[in-house]
Every structure is written in C-alpha cells, then in structure tokens.
Amino acid sequence: MNQVLLWIRDHKLSTAGLVLVILGCVALVNLSRRVHHLKPRTAAPASGVVSASGTAAAGGGGSLTPSQQAGTEQNARSARMRSEFEGATNYLDFIGQAMGRPQEGGKFYALLAWKRCNDLNQHKGIAATHTGNDAFHEGAVALIEDIEKRCTGVLETYPDIQSLYKVAMEQRGGRDFLMPPDGRGIVSPAARQTADADIDAALKTGDRWAAAEALRNNADFLDVGNSAGDDGTDRQLHEWGAEIVGCELVGNCRGGVEVALHCVGTGDCAHDDWRDVILAKVPDTHRTIFDTMLAGLHQRMGLVPGHTDADDKP
C-alpha cells in the first residue's frame, strides 16, 4: 500500500491527466445519449406565393404558413362580397351595406359599383342601327337595361367617386384590405413610383377584381414589352393590353358589361368578346409591339395568355 501511495505521489501529474481524460469521455457519452433522444428540427415551410387566381401555394409538408392562411381567409371573405356585388339588384343599397364591411373588401366593391354605374352613364343611349349578331345585340340591350335599374339613385346620391370615398372612409370597421393606400388609382392618381407595389399588393389579396383594377390603373407605368418610340402610343397600347388582361383576370371578356356597352352604344355587335373589340383597335403597324406588351402584362399578372376561367365553362 505504501508503494502505491509513493507511486501516486511521484506521478501525480500523470494521474491528474488520466482522471481528466476519463471524466471527459464520460461527459461525451452522456451528451451523445441526450442528442440521440432529441427530435430533428422540422424545416420551416417555404414561403408561399399567392397566385392571381387566389390559390396559395402550400409550403413544406402541405401546410400553409400564417400569412398564406390569412390570405386564403381574406380571399374567401372577398369572394362572398364579390358574389353580392354581382348579384345585387340595387347598387345603392349594396353600397350602403358594403361600406361597413371592410374586412370583406366592402369599401372596394362599393367603389366598383359606383364605377360601373358611372361607366353606364358615360355610354348612355342605344345606336339607331347595329351590325353583327342580332341575338347578342338583344342580350346586350337587356343587360344594360338591367344594370340601369340596379344603378337607380347611385349617381344622384354620390355625384362623384370622391364623395363616396369620403363617406366610405368615415365608416367604422378599419382598413379595407382590397383598397390601395389613399384610394390610389381609383380616387387619386396612380404614380410610377408606386405602380409595381400597388399591383403586387393587389395580387397578394388573391382577389382577381382587385388585381384587374390595379392593373388597369397602373398599366401606363409598367415596363413591359417593346416600345413604339412614342410615349403617347406606348401609353395607349398599355391601356388596351390592360383591358384584355383585366377581363381575363375576372373572367368577363365574353358577354361582359364592357362588350355589351360597346355593342349597344356603337351598334358594332360583330364581336361578343371584349378582347376582339380591343384587338380591332390596334393598328397593324403596331400589332407586333402590342403583342410583346400583352405578353409582358400576362407574365406580370401570372396569367396564361388568352385564357380565362370562363373559357373552361361550357
């Protein structure tokens, strides 16, 4: 025993080192056991992109991120409001009750109802004669007369869109998620520096009517396609392109209000598709340039060129 103690005393540094090594090994073993029982961290789902159709691309594992979930819920709410807008038999009543429901896009759709009535007022009258499809002309006249009834009292109550916007903003309920800041593009002029941001914001809502409105209001400022070399010509081509892509977004190119107004007001009822009416306005000398702009607008809005939801319906 004395020999052992003497050996330890003579080799105390070596012994201390050995003890430290042993303790280190024990600690590593315990740590490895703990790690073995830990569950692997689930990878965060990729942030989804809300398409122009309002369908949110799912993140990892097929689940929606909180922002995607909110976008889906907003789209469902605005879909109800949109259905009420299209089915309203009295737009004045619709405007009155919609303004108090901004969480469903009510203020935005109230302004759209006013704009529809104002568009009708700008194209009053029926052409003495018409060419083209007699059945389409009859249907267009019936549609316009029906909208005239729906619009009774709207422009008398709200003579301009600014007065309606002021009343809408005074309503309780908070900000309308479909409404651009300060009513930009609808009530106040759109601007080049905010054009892309306003379109992106509209696309993220998942509401196609909001996206179409944002496109029409900001098309002049988008850098798409080739240039005709003249600002005025480029502006006109952009506006025509936005009309085509806009009606494709909401699915009312064929037999919609715009083409019905054109038929009834001008007597040109050869086309029941608004796209054909617009394309007929494009000069042959600018058709190639227009096609590049139109392709750029389709890409900007995430649409398949020339295709609408209505095209899938029998």
**Would you place residue 44 in the very low, low, confident or very high pLDDT band (cuts 50, 70, 90)?**
very low
State pLDDT tens for residues 266-292.
999 999 999 999 999 999 999 999 999
Provide the token pair at 20. 């430290």
Domain boundaries, the chain: 66-312
Q: Mean pLDDT of all residues in the chain?
A: 81
- Kindly report the pTM of this predicted structure: 0.74
Helix (H, G, I), strand (E, B) or coil at 172: coil
Of the candidates 180, 144, 136, which has an alpha carbon nearest to the alpha carbon of residue 268?
136
For residue 12, CA distances in Å to 4, 5, 8, 87, 249 come to 12, 10, 5, 94, 85
Tell me which range, 14-18, 39-43, 193-197, is most confidently predicted by mean pLDDT: 193-197
Q: How far apart are CA 29 and CA 21, in angstroms?
A: 13
State pLDDT tens for residues 172-192.
778 899 999 989 999 999 999
**Would you place residue 49 in the very low, low, confident or very high pLDDT band (cuts 50, 70, 90)?**
very low
Q: Is the pLDDT of residue 311 over 70?
A: no
What are residue 169's DSSP bridge partners?
Answer: none
As a whole number, mean pLDDT of residues 148-160 equals 97
